[in-house]
A = this chain, B = another copy of it.
Amino acid sequence: MATDDTQPADGTVYLVGSGPGDPELLTLKAKRLLEDADIVLHDKLPGPKIIDMLPDDGCIDVGKRAHGDRTPQWEINERLVELAREGKSVVRLKGGDSFVFGRGGEEATYLAEHGVPFEVVPAVTSAVAAPAVAGIPVTHRDHASSVSFVTGHEDPTKPESAVDWGALAATGGTIVVLMGVTRLPLYTEALREAGMDPDTPVALVERATWPGQQVATGTLETIVEARDEVDISPPAVTVIGGVAGTRESVVEFLRND
Protein backbone atom coordinates (compact mmCIF):
# COMPACT_ATOMS: atom_id res chain seq x y z
CA MET A 1 0.00 0.00 0.00
CA ALA A 2 1.39 3.38 -0.95
CA THR A 3 2.18 5.53 2.06
CA ASP A 4 2.04 8.84 0.19
CA ASP A 5 -1.75 8.58 0.11
CA THR A 6 -3.04 11.55 2.10
CA GLN A 7 -6.48 10.13 2.83
CA PRO A 8 -6.92 10.00 6.63
CA ALA A 9 -6.49 6.55 8.17
CA ASP A 10 -9.26 4.84 10.15
CA GLY A 11 -6.94 3.45 12.78
CA THR A 12 -4.94 5.31 15.42
CA VAL A 13 -1.32 5.04 16.46
CA TYR A 14 -0.47 5.42 20.17
CA LEU A 15 3.12 6.51 20.82
CA VAL A 16 3.51 4.93 24.25
CA GLY A 17 6.49 5.02 26.59
CA SER A 18 7.00 2.01 28.85
CA GLY A 19 9.01 3.77 31.56
CA PRO A 20 12.35 2.53 32.90
CA GLY A 21 11.47 -1.18 32.96
CA ASP A 22 9.62 -2.09 36.18
CA PRO A 23 6.14 -3.13 34.93
CA GLU A 24 4.62 -1.28 37.92
CA LEU A 25 6.07 1.96 36.51
CA LEU A 26 3.88 1.66 33.43
CA THR A 27 1.12 4.26 33.51
CA LEU A 28 -2.48 3.09 33.83
CA LYS A 29 -3.03 4.39 30.31
CA ALA A 30 -0.09 2.46 28.85
CA LYS A 31 -1.38 -0.72 30.46
CA ARG A 32 -4.90 -0.17 29.12
CA LEU A 33 -3.67 0.58 25.60
CA LEU A 34 -1.37 -2.46 25.57
CA GLU A 35 -4.33 -4.64 26.57
CA ASP A 36 -6.68 -3.11 24.01
CA ALA A 37 -4.31 -2.72 21.04
CA ASP A 38 -4.74 -4.75 17.88
CA ILE A 39 -0.99 -4.73 17.46
CA VAL A 40 2.10 -3.64 19.43
CA LEU A 41 5.38 -2.66 17.75
CA HIS A 42 8.31 -2.75 20.18
CA ASP A 43 12.03 -3.38 20.50
CA LYS A 44 14.08 -4.70 23.45
CA LEU A 45 14.43 -1.37 25.30
CA PRO A 46 11.28 -1.69 27.47
CA GLY A 47 13.23 -4.42 29.29
CA PRO A 48 12.65 -8.15 29.84
CA LYS A 49 9.80 -7.91 32.38
CA ILE A 50 7.60 -5.71 30.19
CA ILE A 51 8.43 -7.63 26.99
CA ASP A 52 7.41 -10.85 28.76
CA MET A 53 4.01 -9.32 29.60
CA LEU A 54 3.16 -8.69 25.94
CA PRO A 55 0.90 -11.22 24.21
CA ASP A 56 2.68 -13.55 21.77
CA ASP A 57 0.29 -12.76 18.95
CA GLY A 58 -0.36 -9.15 18.10
CA CYS A 59 3.27 -8.19 18.74
CA ILE A 60 6.02 -7.25 16.30
CA ASP A 61 9.62 -6.91 17.48
CA VAL A 62 10.92 -4.14 15.22
CA GLY A 63 14.23 -4.02 17.06
CA LYS A 64 15.61 -7.16 15.48
CA ARG A 65 16.14 -8.21 11.88
CA ALA A 66 18.03 -10.96 10.17
CA HIS A 67 21.84 -10.76 10.59
CA GLY A 68 21.51 -8.72 13.82
CA ASP A 69 20.64 -5.45 12.04
CA ARG A 70 18.03 -3.11 13.47
CA THR A 71 14.90 -2.28 11.51
CA PRO A 72 15.54 1.16 9.99
CA GLN A 73 13.35 4.02 11.23
CA TRP A 74 11.76 4.64 7.80
CA GLU A 75 10.54 1.04 7.71
CA ILE A 76 8.96 1.36 11.18
CA ASN A 77 7.31 4.63 10.09
CA GLU A 78 5.82 2.98 6.99
CA ARG A 79 4.64 -0.02 8.98
CA LEU A 80 2.80 2.25 11.45
CA VAL A 81 1.00 4.01 8.58
CA GLU A 82 0.06 0.74 6.85
CA LEU A 83 -1.39 -0.78 10.03
CA ALA A 84 -3.38 2.36 10.83
CA ARG A 85 -4.77 2.37 7.27
CA GLU A 86 -5.98 -1.18 7.88
CA GLY A 87 -8.07 0.39 10.66
CA LYS A 88 -6.01 -1.05 13.49
CA SER A 89 -5.37 0.36 16.94
CA VAL A 90 -1.57 0.36 16.97
CA VAL A 91 0.71 0.81 19.99
CA ARG A 92 4.26 1.88 19.24
CA LEU A 93 5.95 0.97 22.54
CA LYS A 94 9.27 2.56 23.49
CA GLY A 95 11.56 2.19 26.49
CA GLY A 96 11.44 5.25 28.77
CA ASP A 97 9.50 8.14 27.20
CA SER A 98 8.99 8.25 23.41
CA PHE A 99 9.76 11.97 23.29
CA VAL A 100 13.06 11.89 25.24
CA PHE A 101 15.68 10.59 22.78
CA GLY A 102 13.07 8.09 21.59
CA ARG A 103 12.50 9.28 17.99
CA GLY A 104 8.82 9.72 18.85
CA GLY A 105 8.95 13.21 17.34
CA GLU A 106 10.02 11.82 13.98
CA GLU A 107 7.25 9.20 14.11
CA ALA A 108 4.65 11.85 14.99
CA THR A 109 5.70 14.03 12.06
CA TYR A 110 5.60 11.09 9.64
CA LEU A 111 2.16 9.98 10.86
CA ALA A 112 0.72 13.50 10.53
CA GLU A 113 2.22 13.86 7.04
CA HIS A 114 0.43 10.65 6.04
CA GLY A 115 -2.93 11.50 7.58
CA VAL A 116 -2.73 9.09 10.51
CA PRO A 117 -4.36 10.18 13.79
CA PHE A 118 -2.04 9.61 16.73
CA GLU A 119 -1.90 10.09 20.47
CA VAL A 120 1.18 10.60 22.61
CA VAL A 121 1.22 8.75 25.94
CA PRO A 122 3.98 10.23 28.12
CA ALA A 123 5.91 7.93 30.43
CA VAL A 124 8.39 7.86 33.29
CA THR A 125 11.69 8.80 31.66
CA SER A 126 14.77 6.82 32.69
CA ALA A 127 16.68 10.12 32.80
CA VAL A 128 14.78 10.97 36.01
CA ALA A 129 13.88 7.48 37.27
CA ALA A 130 17.30 5.84 37.11
CA PRO A 131 18.91 8.46 39.38
CA ALA A 132 15.78 8.52 41.59
CA VAL A 133 15.74 4.82 42.41
CA ALA A 134 19.43 5.14 43.35
CA GLY A 135 18.47 7.89 45.83
CA ILE A 136 19.57 10.79 43.62
CA PRO A 137 17.24 13.72 42.87
CA VAL A 138 18.16 15.41 39.57
CA THR A 139 17.45 18.81 41.13
CA HIS A 140 18.00 19.91 44.74
CA ARG A 141 17.93 23.33 46.38
CA ASP A 142 21.44 22.85 47.75
CA HIS A 143 23.02 21.47 44.58
CA ALA A 144 21.31 22.18 41.26
CA SER A 145 18.66 24.56 40.01
CA SER A 146 18.62 23.03 36.54
CA VAL A 147 19.14 19.64 34.94
CA SER A 148 20.15 18.79 31.37
CA PHE A 149 19.62 15.49 29.56
CA VAL A 150 21.96 14.50 26.76
CA THR A 151 23.02 11.26 25.05
CA GLY A 152 26.49 9.81 25.23
CA HIS A 153 26.23 8.33 21.74
CA GLU A 154 28.24 11.05 20.08
CA ASP A 155 32.01 11.25 20.18
CA PRO A 156 32.82 14.59 21.89
CA THR A 157 36.26 14.72 20.26
CA LYS A 158 34.71 15.00 16.78
CA PRO A 159 34.19 18.54 15.54
CA GLU A 160 30.72 17.72 14.19
CA SER A 161 29.48 16.69 17.67
CA ALA A 162 26.19 18.47 18.31
CA VAL A 163 26.68 18.36 22.08
CA ASP A 164 28.44 21.36 23.65
CA TRP A 165 29.86 19.86 26.87
CA GLY A 166 31.42 23.18 27.83
CA ALA A 167 28.04 24.91 27.72
CA LEU A 168 26.44 22.07 29.70
CA ALA A 169 29.17 22.42 32.35
CA ALA A 170 28.64 26.19 32.44
CA THR A 171 24.94 25.83 33.35
CA GLY A 172 26.05 24.72 36.83
CA GLY A 173 23.16 22.25 36.84
CA THR A 174 23.00 18.47 36.95
CA ILE A 175 23.96 16.65 33.73
CA VAL A 176 22.26 13.32 33.01
CA VAL A 177 23.79 11.29 30.19
CA LEU A 178 21.71 8.54 28.61
CA MET A 179 23.46 5.68 26.80
CA GLY A 180 26.80 6.94 28.05
CA VAL A 181 28.72 3.94 29.37
CA THR A 182 31.14 3.40 26.51
CA ARG A 183 32.07 7.04 25.92
CA LEU A 184 32.29 7.87 29.64
CA PRO A 185 36.07 8.53 29.46
CA LEU A 186 35.59 10.95 26.55
CA TYR A 187 32.85 13.17 27.99
CA THR A 188 34.17 13.19 31.56
CA GLU A 189 37.42 14.48 30.08
CA ALA A 190 35.56 17.02 27.94
CA LEU A 191 33.82 18.30 31.11
CA ARG A 192 37.10 18.55 33.04
CA GLU A 193 38.70 20.39 30.12
CA ALA A 194 35.72 22.76 30.19
CA GLY A 195 36.70 23.63 33.77
CA MET A 196 34.35 21.42 35.76
CA ASP A 197 35.78 20.49 39.18
CA PRO A 198 37.36 17.00 38.94
CA ASP A 199 35.88 16.27 42.40
CA THR A 200 32.31 16.69 41.09
CA PRO A 201 30.31 13.62 42.18
CA VAL A 202 29.24 11.19 39.44
CA ALA A 203 27.00 8.13 39.63
CA LEU A 204 26.24 5.39 37.10
CA VAL A 205 22.97 3.48 37.36
CA GLU A 206 22.76 0.31 35.24
CA ARG A 207 19.47 -1.46 34.45
CA ALA A 208 17.48 0.85 36.73
CA THR A 209 14.35 -0.99 38.01
CA TRP A 210 15.33 -4.09 35.93
CA PRO A 211 16.53 -7.35 37.43
CA GLY A 212 20.26 -6.86 38.10
CA GLN A 213 20.24 -3.11 38.85
CA GLN A 214 23.74 -1.85 39.73
CA VAL A 215 25.13 1.49 40.90
CA ALA A 216 28.69 2.84 40.78
CA THR A 217 29.74 6.15 42.32
CA GLY A 218 32.83 8.32 42.11
CA THR A 219 33.92 11.70 40.84
CA LEU A 220 34.59 13.16 37.42
CA GLU A 221 38.16 11.91 37.92
CA THR A 222 37.49 8.44 39.38
CA ILE A 223 34.22 7.30 37.77
CA VAL A 224 35.84 5.45 34.83
CA GLU A 225 37.75 3.28 37.32
CA ALA A 226 34.57 2.78 39.39
CA ARG A 227 32.67 1.77 36.25
CA ASP A 228 35.24 -0.91 35.49
CA GLU A 229 35.42 -2.16 39.09
CA VAL A 230 31.64 -2.58 39.37
CA ASP A 231 31.53 -3.78 35.74
CA ILE A 232 28.76 -1.40 34.64
CA SER A 233 27.45 -2.26 31.17
CA PRO A 234 24.77 -0.66 28.97
CA PRO A 235 21.97 0.23 29.44
CA ALA A 236 22.99 2.76 32.10
CA VAL A 237 22.42 6.39 33.01
CA THR A 238 25.20 8.74 34.18
CA VAL A 239 24.43 11.53 36.70
CA ILE A 240 27.00 14.31 37.02
CA GLY A 241 26.76 17.00 39.71
CA GLY A 242 26.49 17.61 43.44
CA VAL A 243 23.22 15.66 43.59
CA ALA A 244 25.11 12.43 42.79
CA GLY A 245 26.79 12.81 46.19
CA THR A 246 23.49 12.64 48.09
CA ARG A 247 23.10 8.89 47.54
CA GLU A 248 25.69 8.12 50.19
CA SER A 249 23.72 9.89 52.94
CA VAL A 250 20.37 8.20 52.18
CA VAL A 251 21.20 4.75 50.83
CA GLU A 252 21.01 3.02 54.26
CA PHE A 253 17.28 3.80 54.45
CA LEU A 254 16.46 3.66 50.73
CA ARG A 255 14.15 0.72 50.03
CA ASN A 256 14.22 0.81 46.21
CA ASP A 257 17.11 -1.61 45.82
Contacts and interface: CB of A to CB of B under 8 A. Distances in A.
Interface of A: 8, 12, 19-20, 22-29, 31-32, 97-106, 108-109, 111-113, 115-125, 128-129, 131-133, 135-141, 145-151, 154, 162-164, 167-168, 170-173, 243, 246, 249-250, 252-256
A100 B147 contact: yes
Given A27-B19, A105-B140, A163 B145 contact: yes
A162 to B, nearest CB: 4
Number of copies: 2
Given A145-B150, A167-B172, A170-B164, A116 B253 contact: yes
A7 to B, nearest CB: 13
Given A24-B29, A27-B27, A120-B254, A101 B139 contact: yes
Contact of A122 (B20, B119, B147, B254): B20
A139 B253 contact: no
A253 B168 contact: no
Contacts of A145: 150-151, 154, 162-163
A168 B171 CA distance: 6
Nearest to A120: B132
